[in-house]
Amino acid sequence: MTTRSDAKFQIKAGDFRFTFLNSGDLCEATHKMTMINQWISNPIDGALNNLYLRLQRSHGLQVVPLLGVQSQSIVQYCESQVRWEGTVDEVHYQVTFSLTEQGVWFWEITVDGHDVEVDVIYGQDVGIADKGAVQSNEAYLSQYIDHAVFEDQDKGYVVCSRQNQPQHMGLFPYLQQGALTKTIGYSTDGFQFFGLSYKETNQPEVLSTEMLPNEVYQYEFAYTGLQS
């Protein structure tokens, strides 16, 4: 692993390419001409996608962003992986991103602490369309992304998203997100996740609630959330 100093770096596997800022924020995720995420991050605001570690404290939830400029993580990389790690209140965490040629990628989180209960909230902005289409009108594009959620007895919720406007060569890009460990909550729209208070607090509203809403909601901001 090497600590980053360049402005950006890329992880590639086959036709898939994930570009990160040196802060560890996901900048752009693509497959050929298809942009998987919806918003290209910048060094000031960071990315819309993140993993949030929530520590259950006696006074309430303590929320810790694990990725990017909003976090205190140290970022390292190799040819096929990116790693973030840090410590908060004697709880050590490590996140490893891995990309495969089969169109599957993993965010693996390990936590090491004592006498503390935690969960993890995952959030991802969704574009799944030609890059030009995504960047020209994110709100319009979101209206054509259809979300379906399925519940598995062992793995919990799986969120499936399909672009219903034909893209390059008449294709309809599809994204499926879940967890190898059980998920107990989900959301499908950024309005559910960030709420109105985000404009003042700069913290997603849903992070202060016990559970994600577990409701398929489709407004104008395709954004999936999963709760461990």
Note whether 20 and 26 are within 8 A (CB). yes
pTM as predicted: 0.94
Furthest CA-CA distance within the chain: 55
In this prediction, residue 152 carries a pLDDT of: 95
* Per-residue b or e along 128-166, where b marks 16 or more CB atoms closer than 10 Å to that residue's CB: bbbbebbeeebeebbebbbbebeeeeeebbbbebebeee
- pLDDT reported for residue 4: 52
**Per-10-residue mean pLDDT, the chain, length 228:** 72 97 97 97 96 93 96 94 96 97 96 94 98 95 97 97 95 97 97 96 95 95 98
In Å, what is the CA distance from 133 to each residue of 129, 169, 170, 212? 6, 14, 14, 29
* Residue 181, burial from CB neighbour count under 10 angstroms (0-12, 13-18, 19+): exposed
* Amino acid (one-letter) located at 130: D
Q: Does the domain made of 2-227 have the CATH classification 2.70.98.40?
A: yes
pLDDT at 2: 58
Question: CB–CB of 95/107 below 8 Å?
Answer: yes
* pLDDT for residue 159: 98
Give the start-to-end residue ranges of the domains of the chain. Answer: 2-227
HSE-up of 162 (CA within 13 Å, CB side)? 7
